[in-house]
Structure 1
Amino acid sequence: MLTHADIQAAARRLQGAVLQTPCVESRTLSQITGAQVYLKFENLQFTASFKERGALNKLLLLSDAERARGVIAMSAGNHAQGVAYHAQRLGLRAVIVMPRFTPGVKVERTRGFGAEVVLHGDSLAEARAHAYQLAQEQQLTFVHPYDDEAIAAGQGTLALEMLEAQPDLDMLVVAIGGGGLIAGVATAAKAVRPGIEVVGVQTQRFPSMFNALRQAELPMGTSTIAEGIAVTQPGTVTQAIVQRCVDDLLLVDEGDIEQAVLMLLEIEKTLVEGAGAVGLAALLRHPERFRDKKVGLILSGGNIDPMLLAAIIERGMVRSGRLARIRVSARDVPGVLARITATVAGAGANIEEVHHQRAFTMLAAQNVEIDFVLQTRNKAHIDEVIAALQATGMQVSAA
């Protein structure tokens, strides 16, 4: 059974090899959420994720014979990079099995750390089965991403750092995928500060630990922007620890996570992947649960696909009224577009896109529909732009 002593020993092993990341208050997020919010910046680790803590602890506990043979892991993300990087540092052979759909940038980054990458299978389950097969054939030690006490002990070291920096925290809010992070964090936190609350967070699309512990049967989704915690089956070791040490489990939806990623980028100027933002998403979704508490959030990783980030930013601008789409119907006569654009400019909005539509419309043949994407200040400003256009005789609607 994982103990506080195991986590303390892991902290001694990791000293100097992983970054002791900052844990500081966010005044702005505290004002927004009604809680006193402290952020643990694990996205500042060299591989941009907490995962290297557990990976390194596991590697340092290998016997000489196991080190000589090497290790194998299955991962499409942060665990792969953590194992590969620290295996390279320690001079160990590392084989990483990744499913074939893994983005090329993650494959190349893992190879860049010196690992032998094997692309196999069209699902995580197929890749995992192949990794176990290679481990047996080549006598490699399998480094599990979460269901291992040595992994959980390594992850738990960040809780020791948080409570050393902020000893009076009332609550820790922790993302749950397979449960390795929260198992280590809860074990350490309860030993250091027995009265602290540990709250786990899962996405509604992958509520595997929630289902297991609440005897629920919520359906599993197929994708989430929090892909780092998209786990369909919690760990056996970790589930037992979560059942014993974790006080509450909450679910968040995709919109909550998108909003949290964008807020951390805009307010804290820090890049956090979906799985790393679910703690803040929980505060936004369930503010009454955390009001007036000193809450520690773990920004567990920063490896987000640039195209996904661009989509999150754009969708967030739409929700906040800083990006709007309007449709203007007008007489198709010379100068009409100039009049519209002048009116939009006069109202203080900036035109990002224009689509002039004559054929695919139910309007009379002498009329035209023009779709605009505008950069605006807020939702009230959108209304001002529409009113300004209507005042010139144009028919306008939000598209």
Structure 2
Amino acid sequence: MTKPIPSVDLRMPTREGVMRAADKIAQILPQTPLLPLEMPNGATIWCKAESLQPVGAFKIRGAWHRLTDLDEAQRAKGVVAVSSGNHAQGVAWSARRLGIAATIVMPNDAPAVKLAATREFGAEVVLYDRPGGESRDAVAAELIARNGATLVHAFGDPWVIEGQGSTGIELAAQLQVLTGSAPSRIVTPCGGGGLASGLALACPEAEVIAIEPDGWDDVTRSLAAGQIVAVEPNPPTTACDALQTLATYPINFAVMTANGIKALSVSEEEVRAAQRLAFARLRLVVEPGGAAGLAAVLSGKAPTDGATVVILSGGNVDPEAFAAVISEA
């Protein structure tokens, strides 16, 4: 069962909050499918296709839960978010539907498809120089100080964590219908730990395994060390732009440690192989970061059984980049 969570500055997310978020999301979005996938070794896993959300990623869940809980005064001042693209689209989509002004701080090297989609949803985009080391948090703080907007953090926010956890409520109900059992294990891509934290709250009896790209394994190293550890200096280039988080936040670390979440990393080659498998077997376009969980299962790093669920967390990838990946031998 879920253990007590150590106290941190913000209110802590709860399973009750996850359930409330799931109810809110069920009123506006159809469930994404839970698809069986036979692996090359003959094992069957279940894939939660969050890449089919209206914004192409699970991030719409946390954004909707957060923005719908803002009071009228907060809504009038707008929101600010920081994202490489998927959270940006989730916030922009939710803000447009609710009539809230949204400003998104995005890296100037974000995939063009994510930048374009965020602007199409009506958000103002403010670029920062990620390769040059500019602080996105400092840019966001300046914007918030200027107009009093509410920060909608991509992972270190209790509402966002609860919203992402609604994924687990859905998949557990779907798996029960399809197999008569609850999920024994959930393998999920991990950036800052918002989705992993939410899944642990939603499915406390399941083993949750968080998957990061090699060299961006701050959560893996933090859980092993028993304290928050940032990525090493000069981390390697990765195609998993959605998972490039320098360090998790205390609120996420508290939830993950309290619930016994495990973590590991995968290589760029393993991620590309997972993208190809998802396209060939499921007919799904999955972005590199969104395929990290499948990469861990396909490579044999994460164990499986008949009740293992893998989260395909996003599908926002530049067409040229995706075409190059699936054309590899």
For normalisation by structure 2, the TM-score amounts to: 0.88
1:14 aligns with 2:58: no
- Give the corresponding residue for 1:206: 216
Letter in 2 for 1:12: D
Matched, 1:285 2:299: yes
Structure 1 position 309 matched with structure 2 position 322: yes
**1:115/1:247 CA distance change after superposition, 3 Å:** closer
Displacement of 1:291 in angstroms is 4.5
Q: 1:159 to 1:292 in 2, by over 3 A?
A: closer
Task: Tell me, yes or no, if the aligned pair for 1:34 and 1:292 is still in contact at 8 Å.
Answer: no
Deviation, structure 1 residue 170: 1.6
Aligned match of 1:99: 107
Distance in 2, Cα, partners of 1:236 & 1:33? 39
Partner of 1:42: 50
| 8 Å Cα contact 1:38/1:297 also seen in 2 | yes
Matches for 1:338-357 after TM superposition, within 5 Å = none
2:323 and 2:84 map into 1 onto residues whose CA distance is 21
3-state SS of the aligned residue for 2:135? helix
1:244 to 258, 280, 290: 258
Distance 1:73 1:228 in 2: 14
Deviation at 1:129, TM superposition (A): 1.1
- Which amino acid in structure 2 is aligned with residue 20 of structure 1? Q
Q: Deviations over 1:198-217 (max 9, x none)?
A: 11111112001011111289
Q: Deviation at 1:250? A: 1.9
Decide whether aligned partners of structure 1 residues 300 and 116 sit closer, same or farther in structure 2, where only a CA change above 3 A counts: same
- AA aligned to 1:308 is A
Q: Which amino acid aligns with 2:138?
A: A
Candidates 76, 80, 83, aligned match of 1:68: 76
> Does the CA contact (< 8 Å) of 2:113 and 2:317 recur in 1?
no
Matches within 5 A, 1:52-201: 52-123=60-131, 125-167=134-176, 168=181, 169-190=183-204, 194=205, 196-201=206-211
Question: How many equivalent residue pairs?
Answer: 308
Give yes or no for contact 1:272–1:302 (8 Å, CA) kept in 2.
yes
User: Structure 1 residues 197 and 302, CA, compared in 2 at 3 Å: closer, same or farther?
Assistant: same
Distance in 2, Cα, partners of 1:224 & 1:33: 28
Partner Cα distance (1:125, 1:229) in 2: 18
Secondary structure in 1 matching 2:327 = helix
Give the TM-score normalised by the residue count of structure 1: 0.73
SS of residue matched to 1:166: helix
State the percentage of identical aligned residues.
Answer: 34
Q: Aligned in 2, Cα 1:277/1:307: closer, same or farther, shift over 3 Å?
A: same
C-alpha change, 1:292 and 1:64, in structure 2 (3 Å) is closer
Structure 2 Cα separation of the partners of residues 171 and 164 of structure 1: 14
Report Cα offsets for 1:168-210 as digits up to 9, x if no partner: 22211111110000000011100xxx2x211111111200101
Higher RCO (CA 8 Å, separation ≥ 6 residues) = 2
Q: Which runs of 5+ in 2 are unaligned?
A: 1-11
2: distance between equivalents of 1:3 and 1:269?
35
Per the alignment, in what secondary structure is the counterpart of residue 187 of structure 2?
strand
| DSSP 3-state at the match of 1:147 | coil
Task: For residue 164 of structure 1, report the CA deviation from its aligned partner.
Answer: 0.4
> 1:274: which partner in 2?
288
Letter in 2 for 1:258: R
Q: Equivalents in 2 of 1:104, 1:200: separation in Å? A: 27
Paired residues of 2:231 and 2:247 also in contact (CA < 8 A): no
Unpaired runs of 5+ in structure 1? Answer: 318-399
- Matching residue within 196, 220, 223 for 2:237: 223
